[in-house]
């Protein structure tokens, strides 16, 4: 595309691309933006080195003109977008990239990959922390997904309220807390379960979590309590019918005097099973597969579409909206500004997206988009804790119906405002445009 546009003289026309989800996955009431920080970090290092360029030349993909341009590539445009941890809804312009066609289009795969993956994980993770109602969830899905996706998934789930991750590299790269667990193999390595427990207690102290279901659960619990005189920090159960078992094991622990010992459960948990354990004496969860694979929705389906462009490559040329008409896959041209409408009680009521117009804000309403990159300079970096805090705040604004774990509609409507004025016929919901629009 860039080569052809270069030869035709259009490659440096100023353009704007929106990165947005057409809709939420069926049954989900909201999504969670994650990946912003990773995208900014990746953008910093997004260059084409000699090896990459040689490959492109060898395969006949790049000619001299393109190769030279790639060698000098450094994004010089602007990116505005949702701050990380923020909620998104259908049509939310999560990132808006403005620059020459060439420099903006070459970022398409990078940005979509990061946002589609990280936001899918964060969206699933947020439903799990909602369901857990404050009880901690350890992220332990690294082994169920690509080795680098695992690191990003640990980061995304932490933004959405998870506790520590078992992925040590995630701790090293992103500073998030890490926490381990012993596997069944550790128990089986020793000549007896008791030897294994002793070794773990020796190395980790009495606050460690002992895995109790390698052989006989009740025996294991009795051993754990005996060895620590009732002070064992936690036991982990990784099999069986958890809701029945944990009640029984709580009673057993209490009867042995280990009333402070916590019960941690793992075993292919997802948000539905966590919700089903609401009344059970579970003190913490470990979640793997379901969170790193987005709990049924492993990608967000975000797309990257041109929404306006100039007729020349003058950086100051006015951009006019462009619109694609593909059946059921149309786009809405123009520059977007987003306002989360918040009522007097602090509850979100609508996602209002102004198209070439800023939505009017009232007292509690807040503008959602922030500057991430300005003239090529990255300005949107922030500590990961800020994204985590922002997510907790934004989710607390959701109406009660939007906090359902069961199949739900989008929590608040997405409303596009196409120009200022009193007329409500210029306001429509995604999927339900009035006939005159």
Within positions 277 to 296, which residues make up the interface with its own copies, using CB under 8 A? 289, 292-294
Site for its own copies in 315-334 (CB under 8 A): 322, 324-329
Under rule CB under 8 A, residue 305 binds its own copies: yes
Which residue number, 38 or 340, has a Cβ lying nearer to its own copies? 38
Of the candidates 432, 138, 391, the residue with the CA atom closest to the CA atom of residue 285: 138
Of 218, 219, 229, 311, the one binding its own copies (CB under 8 A) is 311
Of 214, 273, 319, 341, the one binding its own copies (CB under 8 A) is 214
Query: What phi and psi, each to the nearest 5 degrees, are found at residue 21?
Result: -90, 135
Shortest gap between Cβ of 146 and its own copies (angstroms)? 4
Of 51, 64, 133, 316, the one binding its own copies (CB under 8 A) is 51
Under rule CB under 8 A, residue 194 binds its own copies: no
Shortest gap between Cβ of 398 and its own copies (angstroms)? 27
Of 90, 186, 356, 388, the one binding its own copies (CB under 8 A) is 186
**Span of 123-131, 172-180, 349-357, 394-402 interacting with its own copies by CB under 8 A:** 172-180
Under rule CB under 8 A, residue 306 binds its own copies: yes
Of the candidates 88, 136, 54, 134, the residue with the CA atom closest to the CA atom of residue 300: 88
Which residue number, 73 or 190, has a Cβ lying nearer to its own copies? 190
Distance CA(25)–CA(388), nearest Å, equals 23
Distance CA(317)–CA(320), nearest Å, equals 10
Q: How far is CA 255 from CA 225, 232, 252, in A?
A: 11, 14, 5
Please report the DSSP string for 239-276 in residue order.
SS-HHHHHHHHHHHHHHTT-TT-EEEE-SS--HHHHHH
Of 96, 138, 182, 221, the one binding its own copies (CB under 8 A) is 182
Which residue number, 185 or 400, has a Cβ lying nearer to its own copies? 185
Taking CB atoms within 8 Å and a gap of at least 24, the contacts of 371-376 are: 371/78, 371/79, 371/80, 372/36, 372/40, 372/79, 372/80, 372/81, 372/95, 373/40, 373/43, 373/75, 373/77, 373/78, 373/79, 374/78, 375/76, 375/77, 375/78, 376/74, 376/75, 376/76, 376/77
Cβ atoms within 10 Å of 67's Cβ, excluding its own: 17
Under rule CB under 8 A, residue 195 binds its own copies: yes
Under rule CB under 8 A, residue 203 binds its own copies: yes
Under rule CB under 8 A, residue 244 binds its own copies: no
Under rule CB under 8 A, residue 8 binds its own copies: yes
Q: Which SS3 state, helix, strand or coil, does residue 437 take? A: coil
Under rule CB under 8 A, residue 147 binds its own copies: yes
Query: What phi and psi, each to the nearest 5 degrees, are found at residue 193?
Result: -60, -35
**Residue 116 CA from chain centroid, whole number:** 8
Residue 49: left (phi > 0), alpha (psi -120 to 50), or beta?
Answer: beta
Which residue number, 328 or 363, has a Cβ lying nearer to its own copies? 328
Six-digit token pair at 323? 């619109």
Which residue number, 195 or 229, has a Cβ lying nearer to its own copies? 195
Under rule CB under 8 A, residue 64 binds its own copies: no
How many residues touch its own copies under the rule CB under 8 A: the total is: 87
Say which DSSP state 360 is in.
P
Cβ atoms within 10 Å of 363's Cβ, excluding its own: 7
Strand partners, 263: 235
Site for its own copies in 99-128 (CB under 8 A): 101, 105, 108-110, 112-114, 116-118
Site for its own copies in 151-170 (CB under 8 A): 152, 167-169
**Span of 129-137, 180-188, 359-367, 395-403 interacting with its own copies by CB under 8 A:** 180-188
Distance CA(391)–CA(87), nearest Å, equals 7
Please report the DSSP string for 197-227 in residue order.
HHHHHHHH-TTSEEE--SS-HHHHHHHHHHH
Six-digit token pair at 68? 């030279």
Under rule CB under 8 A, residue 76 binds its own copies: no
Which residue number, 117 or 336, has a Cβ lying nearer to its own copies? 117
Site for its own copies in 335-364 (CB under 8 A): none
Shortest gap between Cβ of 7 and its own copies (angstroms)? 6
Shortest gap between Cβ of 352 and its own copies (angstroms)? 26
Of 84, 213, 271, 351, the one binding its own copies (CB under 8 A) is 213
């Amino acid at each position: 595309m860039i080569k052809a546009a270069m030869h035709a003289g259009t490659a440096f026309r100023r353009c704007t691309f929106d990165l947005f989800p057409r809709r939420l996955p069926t049954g989900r009431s909201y999504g969670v933006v994650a990946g912003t920080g990773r995208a900014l970090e990746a953008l910093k290092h997004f260059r084409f080195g000699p090896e990459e360029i040689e490959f492109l030349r060898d395969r006949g993909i790049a000619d001299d003109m393109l190769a030279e341009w790639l060698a000098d590539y450094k994004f010089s445009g602007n990116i505005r977008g949702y701050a990380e941890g923020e909620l998104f809804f259908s049509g939310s312009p999560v990132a808006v990239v403005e620059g020459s066609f060439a420099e903006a289009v070459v970022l398409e795969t990078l940005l979509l990959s990061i946002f589609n993956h990280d936001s899918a994980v964060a969206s699933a993770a947020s439903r799990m922390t909602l369901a857990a109602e404050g009880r901690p969830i350890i992220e332990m899905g690294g082994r169920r997904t690509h080795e680098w996706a695992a690191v990003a998934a640990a980061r995304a789930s932490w933004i959405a309220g998870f506790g520590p991750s078992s992925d040590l590299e995630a701790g090293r790269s992103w500073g998030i807390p890490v926490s381990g667990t012993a596997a069944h193999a550790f128990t089986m390595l020793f000549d007896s379960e008791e030897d294994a427990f002793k070794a773990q207690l020796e190395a980790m102290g009495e606050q460690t979590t002992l895995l109790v279901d390698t052989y006989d659960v009740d025996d294991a619990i009795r051993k754990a309590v005996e060895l620590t005189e009732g002070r064992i920090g936690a036991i982990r159960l990784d099999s069986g019918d958890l809701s029945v078992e944990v009640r029984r094991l709580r009673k057993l622990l209490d009867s042995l005097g280990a009333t402070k010992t916590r019960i941690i459960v793992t075993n292919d948990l997802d948000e539905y099973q966590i919700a089903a354990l609401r009344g059970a004496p579970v003190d913490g969860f470990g979640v793997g597969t379901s969170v790193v694979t987005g709990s049924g929705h492993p990608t967000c389906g975000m797309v990257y579409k041109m929404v306006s462009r100039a007729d020349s490559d003058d950086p100051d040329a006015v951009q006019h909206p462009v619109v694609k008409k593909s059946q059921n896959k149309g786009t809405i041209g123009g520059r977007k500004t987003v306002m989360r409408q918040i009522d007097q009680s602090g509850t979100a009521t609508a996602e209002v997206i102004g198209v070439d117009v800023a939505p009017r804000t009232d007292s509690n309403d807040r503008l959602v988009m922030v500057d991430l990159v300005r003239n090529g300079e990255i300005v949107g970096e922030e500590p990961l804790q800020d994204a985590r805090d922002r997510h907790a705040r934004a989710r607390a604004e959701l109406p009660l119906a939007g906090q359902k774990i069961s199949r739900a509609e989008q929590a608040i409507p997405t409303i596009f405002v196409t120009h200022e004025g009193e007329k409500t016929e210029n306001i429509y919901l995604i999927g339900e445009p009035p006939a005159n629009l």
